[in-house]
Chain A
Amino acid sequence: MSETSDFERVLPSYCKYEIRKRSPNPSKCALLVIDMQNHFSDIANPIIPALNTTINLCRSRKIPVLFTRHNHKSPSDYGMLGEWWDEKLIFDGTPDADLLPNLALDKKVDLVVEKKNTYSAFHGTGMEEILREMEIEEVIITGVMTNLCCETSARDAFVRGFRVFVSTDSTATSNTELHESTLKNMAYGFAYLVDCKRLESCLKIKEKSEV
Protein backbone atom coordinates (compact mmCIF):
# COMPACT_ATOMS: atom_id res chain seq x y z
CA MET A 1 0.00 0.00 0.00
CA SER A 2 1.49 3.38 -0.98
CA GLU A 3 2.57 6.03 1.51
CA THR A 4 0.13 8.89 2.02
CA SER A 5 0.81 11.57 -0.59
CA ASP A 6 1.45 15.17 0.35
CA PHE A 7 -1.95 16.05 -1.09
CA GLU A 8 -3.74 13.44 0.94
CA ARG A 9 -1.97 14.52 4.08
CA VAL A 10 -3.46 18.01 3.91
CA LEU A 11 -7.03 16.74 3.61
CA PRO A 12 -9.09 16.46 6.78
CA SER A 13 -8.41 12.95 7.96
CA TYR A 14 -11.88 11.61 7.25
CA CYS A 15 -12.18 12.87 3.70
CA LYS A 16 -10.26 10.03 2.16
CA TYR A 17 -12.63 7.34 3.25
CA GLU A 18 -15.97 8.65 4.32
CA ILE A 19 -18.99 7.51 2.42
CA ARG A 20 -21.79 8.68 4.71
CA LYS A 21 -21.95 11.76 6.94
CA ARG A 22 -23.78 12.33 10.13
CA SER A 23 -23.26 14.30 13.33
CA PRO A 24 -23.49 12.72 16.77
CA ASN A 25 -26.55 13.58 18.83
CA PRO A 26 -25.16 14.88 22.14
CA SER A 27 -28.19 13.78 24.11
CA LYS A 28 -27.90 10.18 22.90
CA CYS A 29 -24.18 9.78 22.58
CA ALA A 30 -21.26 8.47 24.65
CA LEU A 31 -17.55 8.80 24.03
CA LEU A 32 -15.54 5.60 24.45
CA VAL A 33 -11.82 6.05 25.12
CA ILE A 34 -10.25 2.67 24.58
CA ASP A 35 -7.14 1.38 26.32
CA MET A 36 -5.13 4.58 26.59
CA GLN A 37 -2.64 2.84 28.86
CA ASN A 38 1.09 2.90 29.53
CA HIS A 39 1.46 -0.39 27.67
CA PHE A 40 0.57 1.42 24.44
CA SER A 41 2.35 4.69 25.22
CA ASP A 42 4.43 4.71 22.02
CA ILE A 43 1.39 4.73 19.79
CA ALA A 44 -0.97 6.47 22.21
CA ASN A 45 1.07 9.52 23.22
CA PRO A 46 0.99 11.18 19.77
CA ILE A 47 -2.83 11.27 19.75
CA ILE A 48 -3.26 12.65 23.25
CA PRO A 49 -3.69 16.27 22.12
CA ALA A 50 -6.43 15.36 19.63
CA LEU A 51 -7.99 12.91 22.06
CA ASN A 52 -8.07 15.41 24.92
CA THR A 53 -9.65 17.95 22.59
CA THR A 54 -12.27 15.35 21.70
CA ILE A 55 -12.89 14.54 25.35
CA ASN A 56 -13.24 18.18 26.31
CA LEU A 57 -15.57 18.89 23.38
CA CYS A 58 -17.78 16.00 24.42
CA ARG A 59 -17.72 16.98 28.05
CA SER A 60 -18.75 20.53 27.15
CA ARG A 61 -21.93 19.07 25.67
CA LYS A 62 -22.41 16.71 28.63
CA ILE A 63 -21.64 13.66 26.53
CA PRO A 64 -20.62 10.90 28.98
CA VAL A 65 -17.01 9.76 28.68
CA LEU A 66 -16.14 6.14 29.39
CA PHE A 67 -12.55 4.88 29.54
CA THR A 68 -11.61 1.23 29.21
CA ARG A 69 -8.57 -0.24 30.96
CA HIS A 70 -7.58 -3.56 29.43
CA ASN A 71 -6.04 -5.91 31.97
CA HIS A 72 -5.62 -9.57 32.85
CA LYS A 73 -5.88 -10.84 36.38
CA SER A 74 -5.14 -14.54 35.97
CA PRO A 75 -4.61 -17.19 33.27
CA SER A 76 -8.33 -17.92 33.43
CA ASP A 77 -9.00 -14.67 31.60
CA TYR A 78 -6.25 -14.93 28.95
CA GLY A 79 -8.61 -16.51 26.38
CA MET A 80 -7.42 -16.51 22.79
CA LEU A 81 -5.34 -13.39 23.40
CA GLY A 82 -2.95 -15.47 25.49
CA GLU A 83 -2.44 -17.95 22.68
CA TRP A 84 -2.10 -15.32 20.00
CA TRP A 85 0.32 -13.04 21.84
CA ASP A 86 2.28 -15.77 23.68
CA GLU A 87 0.90 -14.57 27.00
CA LYS A 88 2.68 -11.24 26.62
CA LEU A 89 -0.36 -9.45 27.97
CA ILE A 90 -1.22 -6.43 30.10
CA PHE A 91 -1.34 -7.54 33.71
CA ASP A 92 -3.46 -5.84 36.33
CA GLY A 93 -1.46 -4.21 39.11
CA THR A 94 1.50 -3.34 36.89
CA PRO A 95 2.35 0.20 35.74
CA ASP A 96 1.87 -1.12 32.21
CA ALA A 97 -1.85 -1.44 32.90
CA ASP A 98 -2.36 2.05 34.25
CA LEU A 99 -4.05 4.74 32.23
CA LEU A 100 -1.66 7.30 30.77
CA PRO A 101 -1.09 10.16 33.18
CA ASN A 102 -1.80 13.05 30.81
CA LEU A 103 -5.28 12.01 29.70
CA ALA A 104 -8.12 14.47 30.31
CA LEU A 105 -9.70 12.01 32.71
CA ASP A 106 -12.05 13.50 35.29
CA LYS A 107 -12.46 10.88 37.98
CA LYS A 108 -15.45 12.70 39.42
CA VAL A 109 -17.59 12.27 36.31
CA ASP A 110 -15.96 9.78 33.96
CA LEU A 111 -16.42 6.07 34.15
CA VAL A 112 -13.50 3.64 33.91
CA VAL A 113 -14.51 0.18 32.72
CA GLU A 114 -12.05 -2.25 34.28
CA LYS A 115 -13.22 -5.67 33.16
CA LYS A 116 -11.95 -5.63 29.59
CA ASN A 117 -9.70 -8.57 28.79
CA THR A 118 -10.23 -9.09 25.09
CA TYR A 119 -10.39 -6.88 22.00
CA SER A 120 -14.02 -5.81 22.33
CA ALA A 121 -14.98 -3.19 24.92
CA PHE A 122 -18.39 -4.83 24.99
CA HIS A 123 -17.40 -8.39 25.83
CA GLY A 124 -17.71 -9.33 29.49
CA THR A 125 -17.49 -5.68 30.60
CA GLY A 126 -21.12 -4.71 31.13
CA MET A 127 -20.57 -1.87 28.67
CA GLU A 128 -23.80 -2.45 26.79
CA GLU A 129 -25.86 -2.52 29.97
CA ILE A 130 -24.21 0.66 31.24
CA LEU A 131 -24.92 2.47 27.98
CA ARG A 132 -28.52 1.26 27.74
CA GLU A 133 -29.21 2.41 31.27
CA MET A 134 -27.98 5.86 30.25
CA GLU A 135 -30.25 5.65 27.17
CA ILE A 136 -27.27 5.92 24.90
CA GLU A 137 -27.85 5.06 21.25
CA GLU A 138 -24.58 6.25 19.72
CA VAL A 139 -20.92 5.79 20.53
CA ILE A 140 -17.85 7.67 19.39
CA ILE A 141 -14.84 5.37 19.35
CA THR A 142 -11.40 6.74 20.23
CA GLY A 143 -8.19 5.29 21.65
CA VAL A 144 -5.91 2.42 20.68
CA MET A 145 -5.28 0.30 18.73
CA THR A 146 -7.35 1.43 15.76
CA ASN A 147 -7.46 -1.93 14.01
CA LEU A 148 -7.70 -4.14 17.10
CA CYS A 149 -9.69 -2.97 20.10
CA CYS A 150 -11.16 0.14 18.47
CA GLU A 151 -12.35 -1.61 15.34
CA THR A 152 -13.55 -4.71 17.15
CA SER A 153 -15.45 -2.54 19.62
CA ALA A 154 -16.91 -0.52 16.75
CA ARG A 155 -18.08 -3.67 14.97
CA ASP A 156 -19.48 -5.10 18.20
CA ALA A 157 -21.28 -1.84 18.96
CA PHE A 158 -22.82 -1.89 15.49
CA VAL A 159 -24.14 -5.44 15.69
CA ARG A 160 -25.60 -4.64 19.11
CA GLY A 161 -27.58 -1.84 17.47
CA PHE A 162 -25.62 1.27 18.39
CA ARG A 163 -24.93 3.99 15.85
CA VAL A 164 -21.14 4.19 15.59
CA PHE A 165 -18.77 7.09 15.00
CA VAL A 166 -15.05 6.44 14.70
CA SER A 167 -12.54 9.20 15.25
CA THR A 168 -9.82 9.28 12.63
CA ASP A 169 -7.44 11.51 14.60
CA SER A 170 -8.05 10.24 18.12
CA THR A 171 -7.26 6.64 17.28
CA ALA A 172 -3.87 5.15 16.52
CA THR A 173 -2.10 1.90 15.83
CA SER A 174 1.33 0.56 15.03
CA ASN A 175 1.42 1.51 11.40
CA THR A 176 -0.40 3.68 8.88
CA GLU A 177 -1.44 0.77 6.68
CA LEU A 178 -3.36 -0.90 9.47
CA HIS A 179 -4.92 2.37 10.62
CA GLU A 180 -6.10 3.19 7.12
CA SER A 181 -7.40 -0.36 6.59
CA THR A 182 -9.69 0.14 9.55
CA LEU A 183 -10.96 3.51 8.41
CA LYS A 184 -11.77 2.10 4.95
CA ASN A 185 -13.75 -0.77 6.38
CA MET A 186 -15.49 1.30 9.03
CA ALA A 187 -16.63 3.83 6.45
CA TYR A 188 -17.84 1.06 4.15
CA GLY A 189 -20.30 -0.59 6.46
CA PHE A 190 -20.11 0.35 10.10
CA ALA A 191 -19.44 3.90 11.08
CA TYR A 192 -19.50 7.59 10.39
CA LEU A 193 -16.01 9.05 10.48
CA VAL A 194 -15.31 12.13 12.60
CA ASP A 195 -12.31 14.05 13.84
CA CYS A 196 -11.73 17.03 16.16
CA LYS A 197 -12.50 19.56 13.47
CA ARG A 198 -15.79 17.94 12.53
CA LEU A 199 -16.81 17.41 16.15
CA GLU A 200 -16.01 21.01 16.93
CA SER A 201 -18.17 22.27 14.08
CA CYS A 202 -21.09 19.93 14.67
CA LEU A 203 -21.22 20.20 18.44
CA LYS A 204 -20.90 23.97 18.41
CA ILE A 205 -23.49 24.45 15.66
CA LYS A 206 -26.02 22.50 17.66
CA GLU A 207 -25.35 24.74 20.61
CA LYS A 208 -26.11 27.87 18.61
CA SER A 209 -29.35 26.65 17.13
CA GLU A 210 -30.97 25.01 20.11
CA VAL A 211 -33.19 22.17 18.94
Chain B
Amino acid sequence: MTTGKDYGTRHREVNPSKCALIVIDVQKRFQSMTAPILPTVNRTISLCRSVKIPVIFIRHVDDPNYKVLREHWGDLKDTPFLEDPTNDFLSGLAVEEDDLVLEKTTYSAFEETGLEEKLKEMGVEEVIITGVNTNVCCETSARIAFVKGFRVFFSTDATNTFSDKLRDAALTNLAFAFAYLVNCDMLETSFKTD
Protein backbone atom coordinates (compact mmCIF):
# COMPACT_ATOMS: atom_id res chain seq x y z
CA MET B 1 0.00 0.00 0.00
CA THR B 2 2.96 2.34 0.26
CA THR B 3 3.92 4.42 -2.72
CA GLY B 4 7.59 3.86 -2.05
CA LYS B 5 8.05 7.59 -1.93
CA ASP B 6 10.51 8.94 0.58
CA TYR B 7 8.63 11.41 2.72
CA GLY B 8 11.80 12.60 4.42
CA THR B 9 10.48 11.02 7.57
CA ARG B 10 11.90 11.37 10.99
CA HIS B 11 12.62 8.21 12.88
CA ARG B 12 11.94 7.21 16.44
CA GLU B 13 11.46 3.88 18.17
CA VAL B 14 8.10 3.04 19.67
CA ASN B 15 8.19 2.65 23.45
CA PRO B 16 5.94 -0.39 24.01
CA SER B 17 5.41 0.36 27.69
CA LYS B 18 3.93 3.79 26.86
CA CYS B 19 2.14 2.97 23.63
CA ALA B 20 -1.31 1.96 22.39
CA LEU B 21 -2.33 0.74 18.96
CA ILE B 22 -5.44 2.39 17.57
CA VAL B 23 -7.29 0.47 14.85
CA ILE B 24 -9.72 2.80 13.11
CA ASP B 25 -12.88 1.77 11.27
CA VAL B 26 -11.77 -1.63 9.97
CA GLN B 27 -15.38 -2.43 9.23
CA LYS B 28 -17.41 -4.25 6.60
CA ARG B 29 -19.05 -1.01 5.52
CA PHE B 30 -15.66 0.23 4.25
CA GLN B 31 -14.57 -3.10 2.85
CA SER B 32 -13.17 -1.79 -0.43
CA MET B 33 -10.59 -0.01 1.66
CA THR B 34 -10.32 -2.34 4.64
CA ALA B 35 -10.13 -5.74 2.95
CA PRO B 36 -6.85 -5.03 1.13
CA ILE B 37 -5.09 -4.04 4.35
CA LEU B 38 -6.51 -6.75 6.61
CA PRO B 39 -3.26 -8.77 6.51
CA THR B 40 -1.10 -5.80 7.46
CA VAL B 41 -3.54 -4.57 10.10
CA ASN B 42 -3.58 -8.03 11.65
CA ARG B 43 0.18 -8.28 11.46
CA THR B 44 0.49 -4.91 13.20
CA ILE B 45 -1.95 -6.08 15.88
CA SER B 46 -0.02 -9.29 16.39
CA LEU B 47 3.32 -7.48 16.63
CA CYS B 48 1.89 -5.07 19.19
CA ARG B 49 0.36 -7.83 21.25
CA SER B 50 3.73 -9.63 21.29
CA VAL B 51 5.20 -6.70 23.26
CA LYS B 52 2.03 -6.13 25.28
CA ILE B 53 0.95 -2.93 23.56
CA PRO B 54 -2.80 -2.54 24.23
CA VAL B 55 -4.98 -2.55 21.14
CA ILE B 56 -7.99 -0.23 20.97
CA PHE B 57 -10.55 -0.64 18.20
CA ILE B 58 -12.58 2.29 16.93
CA ARG B 59 -15.89 1.66 15.20
CA HIS B 60 -17.67 4.32 13.16
CA VAL B 61 -21.43 4.59 13.58
CA ASP B 62 -23.83 7.07 12.00
CA ASP B 63 -25.42 9.93 13.88
CA PRO B 64 -28.39 11.24 11.89
CA ASN B 65 -28.16 14.58 13.73
CA TYR B 66 -24.59 15.27 12.67
CA LYS B 67 -25.41 17.93 10.14
CA VAL B 68 -22.09 18.82 8.55
CA LEU B 69 -21.09 15.21 7.95
CA ARG B 70 -24.45 14.56 6.28
CA GLU B 71 -23.94 17.64 4.14
CA HIS B 72 -20.66 16.31 2.77
CA TRP B 73 -21.68 12.72 2.25
CA GLY B 74 -25.49 12.78 1.97
CA ASP B 75 -27.28 9.70 3.18
CA LEU B 76 -24.21 7.65 2.27
CA LYS B 77 -25.92 5.26 -0.12
CA ASP B 78 -24.12 6.72 -3.09
CA THR B 79 -20.79 6.73 -1.32
CA PRO B 80 -18.30 3.95 -0.69
CA PHE B 81 -18.96 4.29 3.02
CA LEU B 82 -21.95 2.03 3.31
CA GLU B 83 -20.87 -1.16 1.57
CA ASP B 84 -22.57 -3.14 4.35
CA PRO B 85 -25.66 -2.17 6.34
CA THR B 86 -24.03 -3.09 9.67
CA ASN B 87 -21.29 -1.47 11.71
CA ASP B 88 -19.57 -4.85 12.16
CA PHE B 89 -15.84 -5.17 12.01
CA LEU B 90 -14.45 -6.81 8.92
CA SER B 91 -14.53 -10.61 9.17
CA GLY B 92 -11.14 -11.91 10.11
CA LEU B 93 -10.06 -8.78 12.00
CA ALA B 94 -7.97 -9.94 14.97
CA VAL B 95 -10.18 -8.38 17.61
CA GLU B 96 -10.39 -10.27 20.91
CA GLU B 97 -13.11 -10.34 23.49
CA ASP B 98 -11.19 -8.30 26.05
CA ASP B 99 -10.17 -5.57 23.64
CA LEU B 100 -11.53 -2.09 24.18
CA VAL B 101 -13.95 -1.00 21.44
CA LEU B 102 -14.99 2.65 21.22
CA GLU B 103 -17.62 4.08 18.90
CA LYS B 104 -17.25 7.37 17.07
CA THR B 105 -19.60 9.41 14.91
CA THR B 106 -17.18 11.80 13.25
CA TYR B 107 -13.73 11.65 11.74
CA SER B 108 -11.75 11.92 14.96
CA ALA B 109 -11.30 8.89 17.18
CA PHE B 110 -10.99 11.34 20.07
CA GLU B 111 -14.27 13.23 19.64
CA GLU B 112 -16.75 12.21 22.35
CA THR B 113 -15.38 8.66 22.55
CA GLY B 114 -13.53 8.83 25.83
CA LEU B 115 -10.36 7.73 24.05
CA GLU B 116 -8.16 10.48 25.52
CA GLU B 117 -9.29 9.76 29.07
CA LYS B 118 -8.78 6.05 28.58
CA LEU B 119 -5.28 6.50 27.20
CA LYS B 120 -4.30 8.81 30.06
CA GLU B 121 -5.70 6.35 32.57
CA MET B 122 -3.51 3.65 31.01
CA GLY B 123 -0.44 5.89 31.18
CA VAL B 124 -0.21 5.89 27.39
CA GLU B 125 1.94 8.63 25.85
CA GLU B 126 2.18 7.43 22.27
CA VAL B 127 -0.22 5.98 19.72
CA ILE B 128 0.21 3.99 16.53
CA ILE B 129 -2.54 4.83 14.04
CA THR B 130 -3.87 2.17 11.64
CA GLY B 131 -7.11 1.67 9.70
CA VAL B 132 -9.11 3.76 7.24
CA ASN B 133 -9.10 6.04 5.66
CA THR B 134 -5.62 7.44 5.59
CA ASN B 135 -6.47 11.05 4.85
CA VAL B 136 -9.76 11.45 6.70
CA CYS B 137 -10.30 9.51 9.93
CA CYS B 138 -6.73 8.33 10.38
CA GLU B 139 -5.11 11.65 9.62
CA THR B 140 -7.65 13.65 11.64
CA SER B 141 -7.14 11.31 14.60
CA ALA B 142 -3.36 11.56 14.20
CA ARG B 143 -3.39 15.37 14.10
CA ILE B 144 -5.68 15.62 17.08
CA ALA B 145 -3.61 13.07 19.00
CA PHE B 146 -0.58 15.31 18.43
CA VAL B 147 -2.47 18.42 19.53
CA LYS B 148 -3.55 16.59 22.68
CA GLY B 149 0.08 15.84 23.49
CA PHE B 150 0.48 12.25 22.35
CA ARG B 151 3.50 11.16 20.34
CA VAL B 152 2.11 9.81 17.07
CA PHE B 153 3.26 6.92 14.90
CA PHE B 154 1.37 6.40 11.66
CA SER B 155 1.38 3.14 9.76
CA THR B 156 1.90 3.46 6.03
CA ASP B 157 1.01 -0.16 5.22
CA ALA B 158 -1.85 -0.70 7.66
CA THR B 159 -3.81 2.34 6.54
CA ASN B 160 -5.64 2.80 3.26
CA THR B 161 -7.71 5.21 1.20
CA PHE B 162 -9.15 5.39 -2.31
CA SER B 163 -6.82 7.66 -4.03
CA ASP B 164 -3.04 7.47 -4.28
CA LYS B 165 -2.96 11.26 -4.55
CA LEU B 166 -4.88 11.73 -1.31
CA ARG B 167 -2.75 9.12 0.43
CA ASP B 168 0.34 10.89 -0.77
CA ALA B 169 -1.01 14.23 0.43
CA ALA B 170 -1.79 12.79 3.86
CA LEU B 171 1.56 11.08 4.35
CA THR B 172 3.43 14.14 3.12
CA ASN B 173 1.78 16.35 5.70
CA LEU B 174 1.89 13.84 8.51
CA ALA B 175 5.59 13.16 8.02
CA PHE B 176 6.29 16.88 7.87
CA ALA B 177 4.72 17.88 11.14
CA PHE B 178 2.82 15.23 13.06
CA ALA B 179 3.90 11.66 12.96
CA TYR B 180 6.73 9.17 12.75
CA LEU B 181 5.86 6.92 9.82
CA VAL B 182 6.15 3.19 10.47
CA ASN B 183 5.23 -0.09 8.77
CA CYS B 184 5.07 -3.76 9.77
CA ASP B 185 8.68 -4.55 8.93
CA MET B 186 9.96 -1.58 10.90
CA LEU B 187 7.83 -2.49 13.91
CA GLU B 188 8.99 -6.10 13.73
CA THR B 189 12.62 -5.03 13.70
CA SER B 190 12.05 -2.54 16.46
CA PHE B 191 10.22 -4.97 18.74
CA LYS B 192 12.77 -7.73 18.23
CA THR B 193 15.54 -5.56 19.62
CA ASP B 194 13.55 -4.65 22.75
- Interface residue ranges, A against B (CB under 8 Å): 1, 20, 79-80, 83-84, 118-120, 123, 147-148, 151-152, 155-156, 158-164, 177-178, 180-182, 184-185, 188-190
Taking the complex as formed, is B97 at the interface, i.e. its CB lies under 8 A from any CB of chain A? no
Q: Name the 10 nearest CB pairs between A and B, nearest first.
A: A181-B169, A159-B108, A159-B106, A159-B111, A120-B147, A118-B147, A155-B140, A123-B147, A189-B136, A79-B149
Asked whether, in the complex, the Cβ of A160 is within 8 Å of the Cβ of B111, the reply is yes
Asked whether, in the complex, the Cβ of B177 is within 8 Å of the Cβ of A148, the reply is yes
| Partner-binding segment picked from B16-24, B32-40, B45-53, B67-75 | B67-75
Q: Which residues of B contact A162 (CB under 8 A)?
A: 68
Taking the complex as formed, is B59 at the interface, i.e. its CB lies under 8 A from any CB of chain A? no
Q: Which residues of B contact A20 (CB under 8 A)?
A: 71-72
Task: Select from chain A the residue with minimum beta-carbon distance to B133.
Answer: A189
Q: Which residues of A contact B166 (CB under 8 A)?
A: 184-185, 188
Q: B169 contacts which of A83, A118, A120, A185 (Cβ < 8 Å)?
A: A185
Tell me, rounded to whole Å, the shortest Cβ–Cβ distance linking B80 to chain A.
12
Contact with A along B162-183 (1 / 0, CB 8 A): 0001101110110011100000
Q: Which residues of A contact B108 (CB under 8 A)?
A: 155-156, 159
Asked whether, in the complex, the Cβ of A84 is within 8 Å of the Cβ of B144, the reply is no
Asked whether, in the complex, the Cβ of B144 is within 8 Å of the Cβ of A80, the reply is no
Taking the complex as formed, is B135 at the interface, i.e. its CB lies under 8 A from any CB of chain A? yes
Asked whether, in the complex, the Cβ of A161 is within 8 Å of the Cβ of B143, the reply is no
Asked whether, in the complex, the Cβ of A161 is within 8 Å of the Cβ of B172, the reply is no
Tell me, rounded to whole Å, the shortest Cβ–Cβ distance linking A163 to chain B.
5
A119 to B140, CA, bound (A): 12
What are 28 contact pairs spanning A and B, CB under 8 A?
A: A20-B71, A80-B146, A84-B177, A84-B178, A118-B146, A118-B147, A120-B143, A120-B147, A147-B173, A152-B144, A155-B139, A155-B140, A156-B108, A156-B144, A158-B106, A158-B107, A159-B107, A162-B68, A163-B67, A178-B172, A178-B173, A178-B176, A181-B173, A182-B169, A184-B166, A185-B135, A188-B166, A190-B72
A148 to B169, CA, bound (A): 13
